[in-house]
Amino acid sequence: MRAAKQHRHVMMIGTPGTGKSMLAKAMSQLLPKESLQDVLVYHNPDDSNEPKVRTVPAGKGDQIVEAHQEEVRKRNQMRTFLMWIVLAVVVGYAFLVEGAILLGILAAGIIYFAFRYSNRGSDAMIPKLLINNADRQTAPFEEATGAHAGALLGDVRHDPFQSGGMETPAHERVEAGAIHKSSKGVLFIDEINTLDVRSQQHLMTAIQEGEFGITGQSERSSGAMVHTEPVPCDFIMVAAGNMDAMENMHPALRSRIKGYGYEVYMDDTIDDTPEMRRKFARFVAQEVERDGQLPDFTPDAVREVILEAKRRAGRKDHLTLELRNLGGLVRVAGDIARSKGNEMTEREDVLEAKNRSRSIEQQVADNYIERRKDYQLERSGDEAVGRVNGLAVMGGDSGIMMPVMAEVTPRQGEGGEIYATGKLQEIAQEAVENVSAIIKKYTGESIANKDIHIQFVQSYEGVEGDSASITVATAVISALEDIPIAQDLAMTGSLSVRGDVLPVGGVTHKIEAAAKSGCNRVIIPKANEQDVMIEDEYKDQIEIIPVSHISEVLDIALVGEPEKDSLVDRLKNITGGALEKGSAGAQSGSPSPQ
């Protein structure tokens, strides 16, 4: 609102579907329509290739063109009347006086074409209405995403007949660009970095000067010879894109925007408040009305859409702002209700739509997970040494269980090494290295004479992130101490070098994956406790155990009373009684997962 009122340019950076174009349209609604202008292009009698430009208040352009057309029409009527008189005199003289019929017909033809040819120049007297804002109720909004130079900056049409009296006047061939049509309004360009460098440079000039002359954009066209006087382009530019847009954007253009406006990073979530929930309910109603073919949603159906907005946010007490995708869910749910012949869209329709409206990437991930179940490594008994049920996310919101195994062997090299396999990416590899500090601290023994092998089982697509840190630490400590781990348990969580369990992303989908795989319990970071929004069908299937320290993880995961109690007692001595103190202090400064 401030940018619109102060006439400032804006660059919006954020994920797709977060309302960048919607905000740009809203800005155009706030601009005064009283300042709108019509733009006329006139023939220049001194140089036809330099048409003149004139601006008038909105609505006056039509009147001026009509006045010129009326003047030309009257002039043509007079010339036509005069032509018929001359023809009548010449033909009458040839027929009646000279008796030369053929000569009379020839003279009449010559006179007729002479009048018609000389009459062509009168069309040049009529100006072209380049920009017509007469019927606009709001300031213009022009979307120029991916526009070529002519569509963005204006162009001059090619004239194949450039002489012989058949040519089209230059000013008639002038076409306005998006920068001119959006004058006194908003010019919206998404993926601003995709514009070619030349267009970005010209756009810079238009922003700086507030006017830009129109010329032919093709060097081989006759339009390239035409160049109008400067045409007003006093627009507010809203440039949008993802983070990579800033890398490929012309630095001088970005400097113009920053110097005359704002750079804004678009949040993809917003606080979950009663007021915001009412706005989301209004959003559902607007999508139904805008589509025009969907049945209205029941209150329960609207609540389910809002719950899905909360799930997609992935943060506690937040709602997603990726409204385009959420609007897709609304439309699919309405289509399902319509196919059933229902008068209203019910909650069950929304639940069904959640499965049908998944992206292609998500469907591929689900298909991969489903096929993988045919060859999934089964758990061997209720407990196992060095084996932990880890959890991961694929495709954005498909959870999958990924076992992690650890084995300790005598040293084969000069010093003890940690080997990790499973196509680990950089962050995951660093997480494994950090776990070594935990191992050295809590096992109470030197590992210099041992090699530790860690395997992420069936991780064909690789491992990203550090959310398997507590899984790796638990598996290795179990192997070192030869203490079994409960196999009805799954876990996820990052780990600091001091043993604090840090929050991770996708915790809801990971819990659901654990439940689908038959686990009875799942360990998650305490900081993620408020992020859990699992479907109702899984709530009674699995127990969720929030933890804040690796000592708590080991106390829950390890089995075998004598050995386990001895290790836990040793951990208490090392950590200063972390089990009794809990996690409030340890997690108070923990960052939220990104």
Within a domain: 259: yes
Within a domain: 586: no
Q: Is the pLDDT of residue 585 over 50?
A: no
Last residue of a domain, one of 119, 146, 161: 119
Per-residue confidence band for 130, with pLDDT thresholds at 50, 70 and 90:
very high
Number of domains, the chain: 4
Helical (H) or strand (E) element with 563: helix 561-575
Write down the pLDDT at residue 329.
93
> Which of 332, 276, 348, 286 has the alpha carbon at shortest distance from 309?
276
Q: Is the pLDDT of residue 586 over 50?
A: no
Write down the pLDDT at residue 302.
95
Contacting residues for 140 by C-beta, under 8 A, at least 6 apart? 28, 36, 133, 181, 182, 183, 184, 185, 186
One domain, residues 425 and 455: yes
Q: What is the mean pLDDT of residues 159-183?
A: 84
Least confident stretch, 75-84, 291-300, 515-524: 75-84
pLDDT digits (tens, 9 = 90+) for 490-542: 999 988 877 889 998 889 889 988 888 889 999 999 998 888 888 878 888 89
Write down the pLDDT at residue 578.
43
One domain, residues 287 and 337: yes
Within a domain: 301: yes
Q: How far apart are CA 365 and CA 370, in angstroms?
A: 9
> Which residue type sits at 81?
F
Structural domain boundaries enclosing 440: 381-576
One domain, residues 388 and 322: no
End-to-end CA distance of the chain: 29
Within a domain: 156: yes
One domain, residues 98 and 188: no
Q: Is the pLDDT of residue 364 over 70?
A: yes
Q: What is the mean pLDDT of residues 305-323?
A: 87
> Which of 393, 305, 315, 320 has the alpha carbon at shortest distance from 354?
305
> Between these two residues, 469 and 580, which has the higher pLDDT value?
469
One domain, residues 388 and 499: yes
Contact 217, 153 (CB under 8 A): yes
Least confident stretch, 260-269, 374-383, 401-410, 491-500: 374-383
Half-sphere exposure of 420 (CA within 13 A, CB side): 25
Per-residue confidence band for 477, with pLDDT thresholds at 50, 70 and 90:
confident
Within a domain: 469: yes
Q: What is the mean pLDDT of residues 406-430?
A: 69
Q: Is the pLDDT of residue 591 over 50?
A: no
Write down the pLDDT at residue 382.
81
Q: What is the mean pLDDT of the chain?
A: 82
Q: How far apart are CA 189 and CA 349, in angstroms?
A: 36
- CA 510 to each of CA 117, 243, 403: distance values in angstroms, whole numbers, following the listed order: 81, 28, 13
One domain, residues 256 and 278: no
Least confident stretch, 230-234, 304-308, 484-488, 569-573: 569-573
- CA 201 to each of CA 142, 173, 205: distance values in angstroms, whole numbers, following the listed order: 19, 24, 7
Q: Is the pLDDT of residue 577 over 70?
A: no
pTM over the 0.95 mark: no
Within a domain: 186: yes
Q: Is the pLDDT of residue 135 over 80?
A: yes
Within a domain: 368: no
Least confident stretch, 427-436, 444-453, 480-489: 427-436
Q: How far apart are CA 53 and CA 41, in angstroms?
A: 5
> Which of 278, 308, 293 has the alpha carbon at shortest distance from 345?
293
One domain, residues 152 and 233: yes
pLDDT digits (tens, 9 = 90+) for 81-125: 787 787 777 777 777 666 677 777 777 787 777 776 666 555 667
**Neighbour-count burial of 275, counting CB atoms closer than 10 A to its CB (0-12 exposed, 13-18 middle, 19+ buried):** exposed
Write down the pLDDT at residue 572.
56
**Neighbour-count burial of 540, counting CB atoms closer than 10 A to its CB (0-12 exposed, 13-18 middle, 19+ buried):** exposed
One domain, residues 413 and 554: yes
Instruction: List active site positions.
Output: 467, 510
Within a domain: 106: yes
Percent of the chain with pLDDT over 90: 29
Q: Is the pLDDT of residue 564 over 70?
A: no
Q: Is the pLDDT of residue 442 over 70?
A: no
Q: Is the pLDDT of residue 590 over 60?
A: no
Write down the pLDDT at residue 266.
87
Write down the pLDDT at residue 588.
36
One domain, residues 101 and 222: no
Q: How far apart are CA 263 and CA 11, in angstroms?
A: 5
One domain, residues 388 and 436: yes
Report helix, strand or coil for 189.
strand
Write down the pLDDT at residue 75.
80
Least confident stretch, 173-182, 349-358, 473-482, 584-593: 584-593
Per-residue confidence band for 465, with pLDDT thresholds at 50, 70 and 90:
low
One domain, residues 114 and 138: no
One domain, residues 173 and 110: no
Q: Are strands 543-547 and 521-525 parallel, antiparallel or unpaired?
A: parallel
Which domain CATH number covers 207?
3.40.50.300
